[in-house]
Structure 1
Amino acid sequence: MTKQEQEREQAKKDYLAGMKYKDIAAKYEIPINTLKSWKNRYGWQRGAPTKKSMHTKSKKDAHKITKVAVEKITDNDELTEKQKRFCLFYLQRFNATWAYQQAYECSYEVAVTNGPRLLRNARIKEQLKELKQQQSQELYVDANDILQGYLKQATADVTDVVEFETVKRLKWQKNYSKDGKYGPKSNPYDYVPVIDPDTGEQDFYYEQVVKLRDSKKIDTSNIKSIRIDKGEAVVEMYDKQKAMKELIERLPALDELSKHKERKLKAEADIAETKAAILNDNGNDTEAKVAKYLDKLDEVLQGDDDNGS
């Protein structure tokens, strides 16, 4: 093992033990970026299961590994312990390379080859199939739940997450004097109003103020990400257009629905017009008027049938 490999292994142990990046970097006199690169490249994961344990600690966004799933795979005598661990890790992210790294504690270069290969193992495939079915039964999610999720994304608005307003601010400037209340003793100053020469009053400007709403009072499921960029909060919502597209593809054909409504309105208008004309016709008796009305109704209904209604 080279010196760098030894150093990397020691750094890994310190990282898994909970040491901070800056402390590890100072200890081994290496750049923090190098340390982070090792962490990502070799899949260092705090809280990962030890060799003797079959339990896995899921991340917030990982798929839930239930007690039933762990019991099922533990009872499988056809798989080795590492193969069992591979299955459990795979169910968390469905990433064969990452799962192989965690189960076999190897480098990324080894895992990127052996992970997908192990996934093709017949016994592994059978065990994963059974566990996936178990997960599906415990999720209790149907197509309607997915549609509801898309509906929430399509109708969400950024004002659900942030509030913004235009605020009027008065302008001030520094007035340096020995009696000033602000600044260093060597050069004190006061703030005095900036006067607009046209109005003779204190000048002003408008400031755009954006505030994040309290996460405890909003639905955060529609937020894709929140990050701080140059001291400002940047909120990214899920794509409304994409959600609308998904909904439209799952709803009845809008063109056919519109045509049906148009035909229905036209038929109702024709019937109302005929009814009014018949009632205003003083030259026919009641029986003749009813006959004309029924004939027109049959004509309208026959037209609907011809249009496929």
Structure 2
Amino acid sequence: MARTLDPRIEQAKKLYDAGEKLIDIADQLGVPEGTIRSWKKRYWGNATLQKKECNVAKEKKLSKRAEQETIKQESEYLDETAELSEKQRLFCMYYIRSFSATKAYQKAYRCSYDVANAEGYKLLVKPCIKKAIQQLKQNRLNRELLDEHDIFQKYIDIAFADLTDYVEFGVEETPVMGLYGPIKVKDPNTGKKVTLTQKENVVRFKSSSEIDGTLLAEVKKGKNGDSIKLADRMKALDWLANHMDLATEEQRARIEQIKAQTHRLTRDDEEQEETVDDGFLKALEGTAAEDWADEEES
């Protein structure tokens, strides 16, 4: 005759699933904690693990299904007359998610990384592929009720944001504070007592009413001081590089102007550094010559 399981085993399992600790379950059911551990191991420990694994698998399946549904919806916006194979369509739709031709090719064609790295760019430069990608980009903008030129301008603002638009910093004379306030010292010239001062680095945030807060990623007040963080410039630059087709002529001209200014400043810094080095070397040579002459005279 089969042995009937203790009904408290099922009660213990329900309490455990509800988040109760083993020792608390033991107290509630009036059994030793070791018995609860034994029940967990023998009867429902594996079931809990299997349930968790099942939930993870289910979540992955739902996530994959949602991605496939999104791809299917976006595929409907592609021009039906476009002469694209199913894999080429997939490539275009994966590309607008990552803007990586290698990743998009690898997912669409299910091939090795080396093959995708070699073939992805070749596919990307085909006119029909470019047209399809442009359609998908425009569709995404339309769905989000955004104007492409406004978005492009926002990324320009992020990529070339100037920190001095948000903070003021410099060196100031500040009073040296003692236990009872500013420290006074005697002026050797006048004999009068004056406040002792020191040079101090000062940083001040500008008022939120004076700045564009959408370009900030973080403003923090911590135990080590206040800090401000701009939105990620590198990501913005990558986005601009992948969306130059959305730029107006004025925006293209501005980017070229900023590039030229950056190049000129970098070149000037290099020339200045080289000039300083040359001056230092000449001065060093002159000093060495004088030292040599002094040594000969002596």
Q: What's the TM-score bracket when you normalise by the shorter of the two chains?
A: 0.3 to 0.5
TM-score by length of 1: 0.35
TM-score by length of 2: 0.36
**Greater per-residue helix proportion:** 2
